[in-house]
Amino acid sequence: MTKRVAYLRISQETNSFSPVLSTLEDFHRTHWAEGQELARICGPREVEAPGFMKNAELSGFVKAATKLGGDRIELVPLFSAWAIPSGPLSQETFAYFLDRLVRELRDAGPLDGLMMSLHGALGAEGVVDPEADFLEAARSVMGDAPIAVTLDLHGQLNARKVDNIDILAAYRTNPHRDHAQVGYRAGEMLIRTVLGEVRPTTAWRSLPLVLGGGTTIDFLPTMRPLFRRMKQLERDPRVLYCSLFMCHIWNVNPELGWSTHVVTDGDTALAEAIAEELAELAWRVRHEQAPVFPTATEAIAQARTARLARRLGTVCMCDASDIVSAGAAGENTRLLRALLEEGKGLLTYAPIRDAVVADEHWDTPLGQTLTVTVGGRLHPELNTPLIVRGTLIRRHTHPNMGRMLVLDLDHVKLVVTEHAPMAMKPSFYGMVGLNPWRADVCVVKSLFPFRLYFLAHNRKTIYARTRGVTDMDAVTRQAFDDPVHPTDHVTDWRPVDRKRRGMGSAAPALG
């Protein structure tokens, strides 16, 4: 008898400190596919996420289902909605997705399994954990049928999420480069479950840890042993998947923290033991904090002294307080001001978001000198507008970033975008005629991914700290249900873990 398995995506990483609400338009502009169109883009030799990656979680899932299930599995494509990181979903957008999820699952008819690609750090206006609501809604329709979920490793686990998931698989790379592989692994577990070949059992742990692990990059010394250990554990055929979650620190949640999750084949005791072991390994790296980022002035001085790096390629300078790939709006002018005032002699490419400037000067003839005010329109309480004067040299239209204008401000070439400037690939500048090889400095609005995309060009990475919604110390301004490291000196993670998993309310051990 053929088994019917549905699949869908609702994904966005939310910055709770951003006042820019996310709407359906943001999802439609980034990635939106339904029904047979979703099936098509997840097929062989197709592109699942144009502009971002060829294959992601759902095409990985489809590949696994096709390979393992064959004609025993009927795949039911529902919908896929993906938006770039930004502020919380508006109330209307959250309500739309919740209603559509339930409606499409019901309209799909009898289902034997469900694959959901979520992020794990999605936020919504007035909602504590929208993804937990999505999962509870899915469970209400699916009954006892297995639900498999993929999450970003910056996702947030809690009891409401875990209780409604049968199979869970997180990314195991940071910067993320294993979307399709993780989708395949989740699909493999789900299809084998639906066909009765495995019986997934799970265990998880929650740590009162919000910052630790150094840079948290998977292949660097601090975190590499932990990710290597997870792969070693999976050599045991009883261990189906191990996940480590390092949380999104700009996602306001009273239970924010790292967590571990394990899926085994019918062996609860083994799952519990491994979840405990991985949690202890994660707790041991809590004191390894990320380096303190230099100020804008210090960052510019570092770039100026990096003569060999600039001669051989470019310096990638991350605007660490205005990281678009972590949900910032991309309109912070502090680094731009410093580059204009202190960066003379350094050919610099930099982005700024300003829909008003893009609209007012879209039809202005190229070559005209303009005096315009940029930035500070979406979050004026935090971001100060800046007056700049330069020559309009290029214009371009991008499906996600909208209208783009290039202003020549002497040593700074400023790319003004209508929507959030996702400046993390060399193509961001290349598409508007700016060659990254010629730049001394390329400003990026990305925390990790630019390290992959700029690999051929980047000879030195500098993170510049000013003040904005992606400051690392923003986490210290959050309210938590329990003491957490490093804002509190917690000596034992287990009491908080037991409380969060509903096993008691013992007070954590404080130093």
More confident residue, 478 or 131: 131
Euclidean distance between CA atoms 255 and 157, whole angstroms: 9
Task: Tokens for 488, please give them.
Answer: 């509190």
Residue appearing with tokens 């009891």: 159
Helix (H) or strand (E) holding 297: helix 296-305
> pLDDT tens for residues 351-390?
999 999 999 999 999 999 999 999 999 999 999 999 999 9
What pLDDT is stored for residue 509 in this prediction?
Answer: 52
Q: Which letter does DSSP use for residue 72 in this model? A: G
Distance, in Å, from the CA atom of 414 to the CA atom of 408, rounded to the nearest integer, reads 6
pLDDT digits (tens, 9 = 90+) for 457-499: 999 999 999 999 999 988 888 889 999 999 999 999 999 999 9
Does residue 209 register a pLDDT over 50? yes
Half-sphere exposure of 342 (CA within 13 A, CB side): 16
Given a cut of 70, whether residue 313 has pLDDT beyond it is: yes
Kind plus residue range of the DSSP H or E element containing 107: helix 91-107
C-alpha closest to that of 169 among 179, 53, 132, 501: 179
Q: Please count the helices (runs of H) and the strands (runs of E) in the chain.
A: 16, 19
Q: In the chain, what percentage of residues exceed pLDDT 90?
A: 95
Nearest to 198 by CA among 92, 98, 68: 68
The mean pLDDT of 7-36, rounded to a whole number, is: 97
Report the length, in residues, of the chain: 511
Parallel, antiparallel or unpaired: strands 402-409 and 509-510: unpaired
Distance, in Å, from the CA atom of 295 to the CA atom of 342, rounded to the nearest integer, reads 12
Q: What is the largest CA-CA distance in the chain?
A: 71
What Rg do the C-alpha atoms of the chain give, in angstroms? Answer: 23
What pLDDT shows up at residue 52? 86
pLDDT at 508: 47
The 3-state secondary structure of 436-493 reads HHHCCEEEECCCCCHHHHCCCCEEEEEEEECCCCCCHHHHHHCCCCCCCECCCCEEEC
The set of residues, in sequence order, having a beta carbon less than 8 Å from that of 442 and lying 6+ positions away, is 314, 315, 316, 317, 348, 349, 423, 426, 429, 436, 454, 457, 458
Strand partners, 402: 398
Residue type, 31: H
Helix axes 296-305, 334-342, angle to 10 degrees: 50
Q: pLDDT tens, 248-293?
A: 999 999 999 999 999 999 999 999 999 999 999 999 999 999 899 9
Find how far residue 470's CA is from the centre of its chain: 13
Token pair 């804002």 is found at: 487
State the pairing for strand pair 441-444/314-319.
parallel
Q: Which residue in the block uniquely carries the two structure tokens 């970033």?
A: 401
Is a pLDDT exceeding 60 seen at residue 242?
A: yes
Are 388 and 372 spatial neighbours (Cβ–Cβ below 8 Å)? Answer: yes
Q: What are phi and psi of 465, to 5 degrees?
A: -105, 130
Q: Are 405 and 362 in contact (CB under 8 A)?
A: yes
Q: Which residue has the higher pLDDT, 507 or 101?
A: 101
Spatial CA neighbour of 166 closest among 204, 201, 130:
201
Contacts of 322 (CB under 8 A, 6+ apart): 328, 329, 330, 331, 332, 334, 335, 445, 466, 468, 469, 470
Quote the pTM value.
0.95
What pLDDT does residue 507 have? 52
Q: How does strand 509-510 pair with strand 490-492?
A: antiparallel
pLDDT at residue 510 greater than cutoff 80: no
Average pLDDT, the chain: 96
What is the reported pLDDT for 505? Answer: 60
Task: Using the CB atoms, write b or e for 256-273: b if 16+ within 10 Å.
Answer: bbbbbbbbbbebeebbbe
Residue 328 to residue 323: CA distance in whole angstroms: 5
